[in-house]
Amino acid sequence: MSKGFNISRQTGFTTIAMICFVLLYMPIILLVIYSFNAGTSIAIWEGFSWRWYQSAWENDRVQEATIRSLVIALWASGISTTCAVLAALATTRTRKFKGQAMVFAMINQPLMVPEIVTAVALLIFFAMIKVATGYTGLAYLIIAHSAFCIPFAYLPIRARLQGMDLSLEQAAADLYATPFQVFRRVTLPQLWPGILAGAMLAFVISLDDVVITEFVKSAGQDTLPTYMLGQLRRVVTPEINAISTVLLGISVIFVIAFTVLGKIKN
């Protein structure tokens, strides 16, 4: 009896898979290793040292860029997650309507359009506002990051809602609970893992963004990724490796938490 097609049983699959993993992770492993290099070279090993982590920690510009990145990411994740919850409820807790597929596509537009296109569009839009108002603060970066992060928060929240049993919500409605009471007492307690997962994903995406930030930011508003990009254009030292390793560690922690939250049952 035929067992059907299975890609993992094809000749050479294991070899190709291993090559792909090596090409994908070897540069990251080398990045982490050379972040502990005692010398100034990023290619010649001169001994183990915490020198560059200490240098990054004591660098005023790194501290300033880190704080700015965290502030923007926290605001962006909060705003985008709130919008994502409302959008997910509107697209899963209502009857099917004409144009629903278009609404879904519009919500996920940042995922489908090249990021450079979104960045240029935001640059033009915010430039007009800056000229009209004279305001050049962080609000532009927060709004831009929030808009870009909405689909990343929306997808896990929507998936969580679609996997929830509607019987409890229907029973609460039958007992004369208002829609808000149903959401607060029935839907939200079951939805919180999806909300946290969406918020963490949005936070990581915002913290890591370079393209949109580079186009939207005003003078003196470097985030940690754009600061690193600027340093790479000047002098490359293992300090960049150290900062990258820290960002990698934060991303790994969030990805693990995202995976764990995704496995929590209703």
- For the chain, 266 residues long, the average pLDDT of each consecutive 10-residue run is 65 85 88 87 83 88 91 95 91 77 82 89 92 90 94 90 81 82 84 89 90 90 89 79 88 81 66
Domains of the chain, residue spans:
59-262
Q: Considering Cα of 81, then 87, then 88, then 93, what sign does the dihedral take?
A: positive
Within 10 angstroms of residue 142's Cβ, the number of other Cβ atoms is 20
Q: Which CATH architecture has domain 59-262?
A: Orthogonal Bundle (1.10)
DSSP 76: H
Distance from C-alpha of 41 to C-alpha of 53, rounded to nearest angstrom: 15
Q: So what's the pLDDT on residue 1?
A: 46
Do the beta carbons of residue 152 and residue 198 sit within 8 Å?
yes
Amino acid at 255: V
Amino acid at 179: P
Q: So what's the pLDDT on residue 4?
A: 67
Task: Indicate the SS3 state at residue 163.
Answer: coil
Q: So what's the pLDDT on residue 122?
A: 92
